[in-house]
Amino acid sequence: MSGIATNLVWRQFRRMCSKSREQHAKARFISIKEKIISNTMISKNHLTPEISLHLITSECKLFHEPVCEGTERVFDNDPFWGFYWPGGQALSRFILDTPSVVKSLRILDVGSGSGACSIAAKMSGAKIAVANDIDYGAKVAADLNAELNNVIISTCTQNLIGNFCKDFDVILVGDVFYDKDIADQILPWLTNLRKKGKEIYIGDPGRHGLSTDAMNLMDKVLTYELPENCCIENNGFKIVNVWKVK
């Protein structure tokens, strides 16, 4: 076979592989989307009733079932995106009430879960909002929730901790300080981004990872009381704070 013929065959093979990958990705997205719709309820029963979200509520069968292993699992990873965690609720409420913090700016929502903070940012006039979560299920949930609320966001499943984030002006971080190890990874990154001029807002109900030393690096912006149903769903947390890195 001549060199020209070999190149033509190789290009055709690559096109076929690319098309196959696209078809597989589309099928995977649709499969997870269908599972989310069938295993969640659309809820506004939270701090931001302006935002509708597909959530695993107490009315859902999955809410009451133990996490299954192997083939019995509904989702590949634990569906953390199916819960509207307190920090995310507070950040979203803060953004909706104070749109100037995101208006016309580029927003990165780290550990985005349901995508609520990104949705709130777009509702409040953000130039772009990127929901970043390493779980592909969270990407699908965020896309689905954005569609539900008639806004357009972007999604990203890359681990961006340590990234310079040069394409963003504001970083939103909700409910990630659940232990010391993750706090030790995230805090130096966030403080470095702040030195580079990024505005950084954190939502947290008082988790173990947000130590006194960590809080000394921040200013408390606002405190919210959680609705009763949210207290029950979140291990009894009753209040949640919004912090800004100094």
Q: For position 62, what pLDDT does the model report? A: 87
Residue pair 125/103 in contact (Cβ under 8 Å)? The answer is yes
Q: Alpha-carbon torsion 151, 199, 97, 240, what sign?
A: positive
71, burial (CB in 10 Å: exposed 0-12, middle 13-18, buried 19+): exposed
Q: How far apart are CA 138 and CA 210, in angstroms?
A: 24
* pLDDT tens digits for range 204-242: 999 888 999 999 999 999 999 988 877 766 667 889 999
pLDDT at 16: 52
The 3-state DSSP class for residue 164 equals: coil
Whether residue 71 has pLDDT greater than 50: no
What average pLDDT does the chain have?
A: 88
Gyration radius from the chain CA atoms: 20
pLDDT at 14: 57
Question: Tell me: the pLDDT tens digits for 94-129?
Answer: 999 999 999 999 999 999 999 999 999 999 999 999
Which tokens go with 120? 């709130």
Q: What is the mean pLDDT of residues 163-187?
A: 94
Mean pLDDT, rounded, for 139-163: 97
4: pLDDT confidence band, cut at 50, 70 and 90? low
- 236/10 Cα distance (integer angstroms): 60
Instruction: State the pTM of this model.
Output: 0.87
Rounded to whole angstroms, the Cα distance separating 220 from 69 reads 40
Q: What is the pLDDT of residue 70?
A: 45
pLDDT band at residue 12, thresholds of 50, 70 and 90?
low
The yes-or-no verdict on residue 13 having pLDDT over 50 is no
Q: What is the C-alpha to C-alpha distance for residues 56 and 58, in angstroms, rounded to an integer? A: 7
Q: How far apart are the first and last CA of the chain?
A: 66
pLDDT of 3 over the 90 cut: no
Who wins on pLDDT, 114 or 11?
Answer: 114
pLDDT at 21 over 70: no
Q: What percentage of the chain reaches a pLDDT higher than 70?
A: 85
Provide the pLDDT confidence category of residue 15 given band limits of 50, 70 and 90. low
pLDDT, residue 54, reads 98
The pLDDT value given to residue 76 = 81
